[in-house]
Amino acid sequence: MEIWHNPRCSKSRAAKQRLDDEGIEYTERRYLDDAPSAEELDHVLKLLNKEPWEIARTKEAAYPKLLEHDRAQWIAHTVANPSLIERPIIIDGDEAHIER
């Protein structure tokens, strides 16, 4: 299991705490420091059954207001600006979800 974690985010901290409280082993990925590759993001998006614009944080300065819904362009932009990624994302084998 892996959690894409931002320690400054309260939702992310709460999800990490829940995993700790339940004794679940996981790998923590601080995705702002260790951004996913385009291939990794594409894979996680497929697990989430989402498009990149569906997991984008619209209030981030890097949010591309005029970018068409072109999957490859969005993935490239998100990889270059990982703060756009909604968090936290928990990946467990062939499943992934965004903690809310």
Run of H or E including 76: helix 71-80
Q: CB-based burial of residue 66 (10 Å sphere; 0-12 exposed, 13-18 middle, 19+ buried)?
A: exposed
Active site residue 46: no
Tokens of 38: 């385009």
Q: Per the residue annotation, which of 2, 5, 8, 9 is the catalytic one? A: 9
Q: Which residues are catalytic?
A: 9
